[in-house]
Amino acid sequence: MGQKMWRKWGIMLMEILLLLMSGGVTAKTCGVISIESHTVQLGSPLFASCAVGKQVCPGLNLDAQVIWKLDQNIIPSKDHTDVHQNMSSIYFRSFNKTSAALSCHFRMDQGIQLMDRVEINAGYPPAKPTNLTCHLNLTDERLVCNWQLGSNPLIKTNATLSIAETNKNCTPYEGKKYTCVPRPGETSCAIPRTQYHLYKKHAVWITAQNELGRVISSYLCLTPMNYVKLDPPVIKEAAPLLSHPGCVRIQTKKSETGSFIEQWYQLRYRKAEENQWTETKPIMKDSDELEYCNLSPATRYHFQIRCIRIFMKGYWSEWGSDTSLLTSESAPTGKVKTWWRVLEATGDGPTQIQLLWKALKKEEANSENPWYIVGIRLEPYWNGNVVCNTTFLNCSFHLPHEATGAYLWVYNTAGHSPRMEIDFRDRKIPGMPVSWIHVLPNTDNSLAVEWRLQTMAKSYVLEWRKSSQNLESDFKWKTEPEGSSTSILQDIEPFQQYTVWVYPVYENQVGSPVQVNAYSRQGVPEIAPKLTLISVTKSSAQLSWEPVPLERRHGFIKNYTVFWTDSDRRTLSVTLNSNLTRFVIRNLQPLGMYTVLLSCSTSEGSVNGSVLMIYTTLLDEMEIHVLIMVLCMSSVMIVIGSSFICLGKHKGVKNKFWQVVPDPANSSMGKWRPVCHETPKMSLNIREMITSDLTILEGWPEKKPPSTDVTKCTPVSFEHKPQCSTDDAGVQRPYINVADTVQYAKVITGYFGQSPTSTSHLRSNSTQPLLSNTSPSPQTYENMWFHSNNEEDSIFLIEDENLSNFPLLQALKIQEDGDIFSF
C-alpha cells in the first residue's frame, strides 16, 4: 500500500517537474506549492509539495535548503523530504488546525526567500438537520419552518428548505418543488401562500452542504391547515366571584384572523410576588367566558390565555397579554401571635399596657388589609369595652384593677376570626430568667443572639430596638420555639447601638428579661466631647465634658485621652475610663498658657475634639481672699486714723473744706423794718450811744422804679431822721432789686455827740444775690409772688405779714427794740 502511494506521488511530482521545465513557472515566481484541496477534514492526513523553477531563478544555488512553515512556525527538516534539487514535499499524518497558512521558503545568501504560500481550512462534513417543524401563520398566510443543524462543521455550510406536493406515501413529485434559502446564520424560512395548498399534503425537507459533503434531513409530511398557529385571544374582562372566594370569571375574544376557527383554550396564572407560572388543563370548549377556582382569597393574580384549533390540531398560540385582578376576601382563619409589656404601672391608678401582635400570613388573613379589635376582659364575664379598632400591629391602653386580660380578633369584609384571649396574670410573679446571653455581629445588617436553654421554657421572646430611642418608641420582637438557643435579628443598622432583651416563656408565667447592648458593626466616633473649663488655679485646672450621644458614638467608647501642651511645646497626656466625665490637670505653672485636647476612642479608632486654651493664675483663690482681707483691714485702719486726726482739728478742717455760710433767715437783720413817714422813736443810753446809717452803697446799678406811685426814701443817719416822700400817699414803697451779688449793708458807727470819721462795712459771707430779676423757676427762698408782676421789676410790700415769706427782706426791716436800735 505504501509503495503504491509513493509511486503515485512520484508520478505527480514528475509531471510538475515537466510542467516547470516547459515554462509552467512564470517569471514572477520561483516556486509553487501543490496541494490536493484547500479544505480538508479535521484530523485527516495532508500531503503538499513545493517545486522550484531554475529558469526564473538563475541565481538560485542548487544546494539551497528548503524551509517549510505552518503559520509562523518552522517545520523541522525531519518532517519533510527533498525529492531532488528542484522539489520538496511534506506530509502531515493528522492535520489538526481548523485554519492555517502553509508556506515554502529557500535559504539564500540574502536570507530566507518566500517561494509560495497557501491557506488550508479544516472541518467536518455537515450533520443531518433535525427538529424540522412548520406552522401556518394566518396573519400573513405564510408557512414558516424551523430546524436545527447538527454539530458545527467548522467550515461554511449552506442550508436549503424544499417543499413539494407528495403522494400518499409522502414521496415528493418530481419537478414541482420550491426551495427557500435562509439568511446567513438563520435556521428558519417562510414559504409564501402561492407555493402550497391549505388542504393538500406536502413534503418538507432540509439540505445541508459544504466542501466536504452534502446531507438531507428526514421528510416532514404535512397538510398546512392542520399545522395552523392561531393568534392569541384577548381577555376582555376578568373579575372575582364574590359568592365564591378564590374563583374568577374571565371573558375572552378571538383574534380577527382566527375568528372563523373553533378553538380550545388554556389558562395560566401566577401570584403578583412570584415569577413561576401555573398552567391549567386545556378547557375543551369553544366559549367566550371561562371560570376558574382553586385560587387563594384576597390575593392578586396575573392571568394569560392562549388557544389552539379544536381537537388539538396545529400548535398552541403564543400567550396573550397579561391581566391582573384581586380575588375576593374570606373570613380570617389563622391564629395571631401576641406579646404584651407594661409601659407604666402606678400603685393607685390603672396600669398602662402595650399589646402587640404579628400580622397574619396572607393565606391566613384572607385579606390585604385586615382590621384588629382589642377589648378588655372583666371577670367573670366578657364585656364590650373595646379599646382599639386598628390596622396597626399594636395597641396601648390603661388596664383597670379589676381587669384580668384582653381579647383580640381579626376581621375583614367577609367575616372575622375566632376570638383569642390574652391573660395578663402570668407576669405577676416573674419566672426564672435565662442564665446568660451573648449578642454578636452576624453581618453588617444583622445580629446573632445566643442564650442558655431553660428546661421548663415553652418558648422564647426576643425584643430589640436602638438604645438611643425611648422606651415608648416602637421596637421589634420575635418568638423562638421550645428548644431554640439562637436567633438572628435582621434589619440592623451598622454603627448604631441596639439593646436586646430575652424572655423565657413558661407554662403559666414569663421569666424576667435579660438585656445586652451590641453593635452589628463598629466605627470611629463621629465627634469627640466638647471640653468645658470648670475652674482654674495657678497650678491646676478642672475640666468636664458631656458624653457623646449614643447615635453618634458608632461603637463602644473604650477610653478618653486628655492631652495638654504648655508654651514650650511640651505635651503630656493621660488615659481615662469611659465612664468619667471630669478630670483635674495638676502641676501646672503659674501664669502659664496651656492647650488642652480631648480624644475619645472605640475599637476601630479615635477622634479628636476641639482645642481649649487655659491660662493659669498668679495666685490661688485662698491667697486672693487673704490679700483682699489684708487690703480691706489696711483701708479700715487708714480710715480710722484719719477720723481721729480730723476730730483733733475739727474747726480747722471744717473751715478748710466747708466754709461757713450764714443763713440770712436767722440773721438779726430779719428784725429790721423799713422806715417811712414815721420817725422812729429812739431812746438814748447815757453810757454809750451807737448810731447807724443804713444806706445803699454807691456805684450800684439801680433800676428805676415806675414813673408813678413811687416812694422815695433817704438814708437813715444819727443826725437826721429818715425821710420818705411820695407822690401819692397811698402808694406802696418799693425795694430796689439788683442783679449782681452785693453786700447787704454798710454800717456807720460812732459815739454819741461825735461825727463819724470813718465808715466800716459789715460784710456778709453769703454769695446769695439780693432780690434781682425773677428767674424762670423760684429758688427755695423765693416766693412765686415775685413772678406775678411781669411788667415791673420792683417789689411792693403792702402788709407787714407778707414779709414772713421773704427772709431777705425781713433782714432789711428796721424796728424799734427797747431803748436802742438793734440789728
Tens of pLDDT, residue by residue over 51-97, are: 876 555 666 665 667 888 898 888 887 777 766 666 788 888 888 89
Q: Are the beta carbons of 737 and 794 closer than 8 angstroms?
A: yes
Q: Are the beta carbons of 609 and 530 closer than 8 angstroms?
A: yes
Closest to 447 (Cα-Cα) out of 460, 466, 420: 466
Bridge partners of 585? 541
The average pLDDT across 520-531 equals 92
In eight-state DSSP terms, residue 13 is H
Rounded to whole angstroms, the Cα distance separating 254 from 138 reads 13
The average pLDDT across 208-227 equals 91
Rounded to whole angstroms, the Cα distance separating 286 from 251 reads 12
User: For 398, phi and psi rounded to 5 degrees?
Assistant: -95, 130
Higher-scoring residue by pLDDT: 396, 814:
396
User: For 447, phi and psi rounded to 5 degrees?
Assistant: -125, 145
From edge to edge, which strands make up the β-sheet containing 531-536?
A: 531-536, 541-545, 582-585
The average pLDDT across 360-366 equals 86
pLDDT value for 653: 61
pLDDT value for 351: 82
Q: In 3-state terms, what secondary structure has residue 590?
A: coil
The average pLDDT across 697-717 equals 43
The average pLDDT across 540-564 equals 92
pLDDT value for 381: 60
Higher-scoring residue by pLDDT: 78, 786:
78
Amino acid residing at 663: D
Neighbours of 15 (CB within 10 A): 12
Closest to 216 (Cα-Cα) out of 130, 151, 143: 130
Using alpha carbons, list the distances in angstroms from residue 517 to 437, 463, 474, 487.
11, 12, 17, 16
**How many residues are listed for the chain in this entry?**
823
pLDDT value for 705: 46
pTM beyond cutoff 0.95: no
pLDDT tens, residue by residue, 387-404: 999 999 989 888 887 788
Among 193-202, 243-252, 271-280, 641-650, the least confident range = 641-650
pLDDT value for 247: 92
Bridge partners of 461? 479, 503
The dihedral through the CA atoms of 549, 552, 557, 563 has a sign that is: negative
pLDDT value for 493: 93
Contacts of 519 (CB under 8 A, 6+ apart): 441, 494, 495, 496, 497, 498, 555, 556
In eight-state DSSP terms, residue 673 is -
Is residue 129 very low, low, confident or very high in pLDDT (cuts 50, 70, 90)?
Answer: very high
Amino acid residing at 463: E
Q: Judge whether residue 373 has pLDDT over 80.
A: yes
Cell (9 digits) for 691: 448810731
Rounded to whole angstroms, the Cα distance separating 610 from 614 reads 13
Rounded to whole angstroms, the Cα distance separating 531 from 520 reads 30
Rounded to whole angstroms, the Cα distance separating 221 from 193 reads 17
Q: Judge whether residue 748 has pLDDT over 80.
A: no
Rounded to whole angstroms, the Cα distance separating 150 from 157 reads 11
pLDDT value for 144: 92
pLDDT value for 697: 44
pLDDT value for 87: 76
Q: Judge whether residue 255 has pLDDT over 80.
A: yes
Contacts of 577 (CB under 8 A, 6+ apart): 559, 560
Q: Judge whether residue 785 has pLDDT over 50.
A: no
Q: What is the percent of the chain where pLDDT is above 90?
A: 34
Q: Are the beta carbons of 263 and 239 closer than 8 angstroms?
A: no
Neighbours of 418 (CB within 10 A): 10
pLDDT value for 657: 63
The average pLDDT across 739-753 equals 43
Q: Judge whether residue 348 has pLDDT over 50.
A: yes
Closest to 496 (Cα-Cα) out of 430, 461, 447: 447
Closest to 227 (Cα-Cα) out of 312, 168, 131: 312
Contacts of 261 (CB under 8 A, 6+ apart): 228, 230, 309
Q: Are the beta carbons of 636 and 630 closer than 8 angstroms?
A: no
Percent helix, strand, coil in the chain, to 5, is 15, 40, 45
Q: Are strands 111-123 and 39-41 parallel, antiparallel or unpaired?
A: parallel
pLDDT value for 564: 92
Q: What is the mean pLDDT of the chain?
A: 78
Q: Could you tell me where the beta strands, DSSP code E, fall in 366-497? A: 371-378, 381-390, 394-399, 403-412, 415-416, 420-423, 437-443, 446-451, 459-466, 476-481, 486-489
Q: Are the beta carbons of 560 and 582 closer than 8 angstroms?
A: no
User: For 633, phi and psi rounded to 5 degrees?
Assistant: -65, -40
Cell (9 digits) for 18: 515537466
Terminal-residue alpha carbon distance, the chain: 187
Q: In 3-state terms, what secondary structure has residue 482?
A: coil
Q: Are the beta carbons of 526 and 552 closer than 8 angstroms?
A: yes
Q: Are strands 816-817 and 745-747 parallel, antiparallel or unpaired?
A: unpaired
Q: Are the beta carbons of 449 and 490 closer than 8 angstroms?
A: no
In eight-state DSSP terms, residue 105 is E
The average pLDDT across 308-314 equals 87
Q: Judge whether residue 651 has pLDDT over 90.
A: no
pLDDT value for 310: 87
Is residue 431 very low, low, confident or very high in pLDDT (cuts 50, 70, 90)?
Answer: confident
Grid look-up 375568528 returns: 259
pLDDT value for 77: 76
Neighbours of 34 (CB within 10 A): 18
Is residue 808 very low, low, confident or very high in pLDDT (cuts 50, 70, 90)?
Answer: low
Q: Judge whether residue 286 has pLDDT over 90.
A: no
Is residue 6 very low, low, confident or very high in pLDDT (cuts 50, 70, 90)?
Answer: low
Rounded to whole angstroms, the Cα distance separating 688 from 822 reads 14
Is residue 800 very low, low, confident or very high in pLDDT (cuts 50, 70, 90)?
Answer: low
Rounded to whole angstroms, the Cα distance separating 403 from 395 reads 16
pLDDT value for 189: 93
Rounded to whole angstroms, the Cα distance separating 135 from 314 reads 7
Is residue 718 very low, low, confident or very high in pLDDT (cuts 50, 70, 90)?
Answer: very low
Q: Are the beta carbons of 461 and 505 closer than 8 angstroms?
A: yes
Q: Are the beta carbons of 510 and 498 closer than 8 angstroms?
A: no
The average pLDDT across 129-154 equals 90
Cell (9 digits) for 82: 527533498
User: For 521, phi and psi rounded to 5 degrees?
Assistant: -160, 135
Q: Judge whether residue 161 has pLDDT over 60.
A: yes
